[in-house]
């Protein structure tokens, strides 16, 4: 039987700390060439007025855990301006729902093992990946963190960083007052660090060791002139960082060497991800490091406590999402089987007598 797990079930089965435990060796496998990973593919259809239909997918084979993972989404995207910042928004369908799915196959018998709703696994793996990056690229004595953004992805950024560094204080800034206050209240007691809502980016960044960006902004969320020797900056996509931040960085770490591919109607409006990719400048290529190679011990991104180091998300050089980042689904599957959680679907609905 093939298992189906909802977001609510996944949230009970996998923590960010769990995700770090399986993702760290998986990134090492990527760096050493012990797995295969196809970069993200994005296929846009313009709908007019800055709106798009997007089909996105990425997949990886992970022999360490005996599985192949593919994540796919079917989305309606729009650009909107909030508090002066242009942002990326997903529009729900008429029923108020969103469509995203992860399928996990067995490498051994090539049959599907499980299907997962993707939102919680996505948020969990992003926080875990950011934590792994901070473990290898930030200063080991980092104690103060600036968190820029207080939305859906912010909680796992806090948990991921606190799992790998002795964070004592987190200053949270976001344009929506109630969001940053709610985030601080919700995470109280879940991490040892003290969370403090602040009034400005400057107040958050001044004196911080780590600057973690967790927004959906197309425009920079802080001024690179604020960077000091020793700073570590983590971002989720290249639009969050200005040119000066990239210019001042000693190294810039991306997830993978292979670039995402973007497809769109040539007669229509240029899609937002292309705008992000267009921001990357060839002069920064010489600063690029790759997370898997760093985790495997083949390279390093920080050689002194004075280095300014950056971990970049989508649009950082070739970097984009990787199917291997969803390997925490393997933990969810194992625990769901042990605990009898999930909805079982007959295998005959997926398997066929004739070969494709």
Residues 28 and 296 sit within 8 Å (Cβ to Cβ): yes
Question: Is the domain of 11 the same as that of 96?
Answer: yes
What is the span of the domain harbouring residue 46? 2-122+323-349
Give the long-range contacts of residues 106-112, CB within 8 A, separation 24 or more. Answer: 106/66, 106/67, 106/68, 107/61, 107/63, 107/66, 107/67, 107/68, 108/66, 111/2, 111/347, 111/350, 111/351, 112/2, 112/347, 112/350
> Is position 267 within any domain?
no
Question: Is the domain of 142 the same as that of 233?
Answer: yes
Strands 36-48 and 261-263: parallel
- Is residue 314 pLDDT above 80, yes or no? no
Question: Is the domain of 235 the same as that of 280?
Answer: yes
Confidence tier at 331 by pLDDT (50, 70, 90): very high
Question: Is the domain of 218 the same as that of 199?
Answer: yes
Question: Is the domain of 96 the same as that of 179?
Answer: no
**Residue 160's CATH number:** 3.40.50.720
Closest to 331 (Cα-Cα) out of 30, 8, 1, 14:
14
Provide the token pair at 63: 């022999």
> Is position 93 within any domain?
yes
> Is position 266 within any domain?
no
Helices and strands, number each (H, E), in the chain: 10, 17
Q: How far is Cα 44 from Cα 57, in angstroms, rounded to an integer?
A: 12
Over the stretch 10-35, which tens digit does the pLDDT of each residue have? 999 999 999 999 999 999 999 999 99
Over the stretch 73-126, which tens digit does the pLDDT of each residue have? 999 998 877 766 677 789 999 999 999 999 999 999 999 999 999 999 999 999
Residues 79 and 272 sit within 8 Å (Cβ to Cβ): yes
Question: Is the domain of 341 the same as that of 214?
Answer: no
Q: How far is Cα 99 from Cα 93, in angstroms, rounded to an integer?
A: 9
């Amino acid at each position: 039987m093939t298992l189906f797990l909802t977001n609510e079930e996944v949230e009970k089965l996998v923590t960010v700390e769990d995700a770090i435990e399986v993702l760290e060796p998986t990134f090492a496998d990527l760096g050493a060439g012990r797995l295969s990973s196809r970069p993200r593919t994005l296929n846009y259809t313009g709908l007019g007025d800055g709106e798009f239909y997007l089909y996105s997918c990425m997949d990886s084979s992970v022999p360490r855990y005996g599985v192949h993972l593919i994540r796919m989404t079917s989305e309606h995207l729009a650009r909107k301006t909030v508090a002066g910042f242009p942002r990326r928004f997903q529009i729900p369908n008429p029923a108020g729902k969103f469509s995203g799915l992860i399928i996990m196959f067995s490498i051994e018998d090539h049959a599907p093992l499980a299907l997962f709703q993707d939102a919680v696994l996505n948020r969990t793996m992003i926080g875990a990946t950011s934590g792994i990056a901070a473990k290898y690229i930030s200063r080991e004595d980092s104690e103060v963190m600036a968190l820029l953004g207080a939305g859906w992805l912010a909680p796992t950024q806090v948990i991921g960083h606190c799992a790998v560094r002795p964070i004592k204080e987190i200053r949270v800034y976001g344009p929506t007052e109630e969001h940053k206050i709610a985030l601080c209240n919700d995470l109280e007691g879940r991490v040892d660090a003290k969370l403090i809502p602040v009034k400005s980016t400057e107040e958050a960044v001044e004196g911080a060791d780590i600057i973690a960006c967790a927004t959906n902004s197309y425009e920079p969320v802080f001024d690179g002139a604020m960077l000091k020797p020793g700073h570590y900056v983590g971002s989720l996509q290249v639009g969050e960082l200005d040119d000066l931040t990239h210019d001042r960085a000693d190294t810039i770490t991306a997830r993978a060497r292979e670039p995402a591919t973007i497809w769109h109607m040539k007669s229509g409006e240029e899609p937002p991800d292309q705008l992000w990719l267009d921001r990357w400048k060839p002069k920064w290529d010489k600063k690029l490091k790759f997370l898997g190679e760093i985790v495997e011990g083949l390279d390093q991104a920080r050689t002194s406590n004075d280095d300014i180091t950056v971990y970049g998300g989508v649009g950082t050089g070739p970097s984009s999402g990787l199917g291997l980042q969803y390997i925490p689904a393997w933990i969810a599957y194992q625990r769901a089987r042990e605990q009898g959680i999930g909805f079982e679907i007959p295998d005959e609905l997926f398997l066929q007598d004739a070969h494709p």
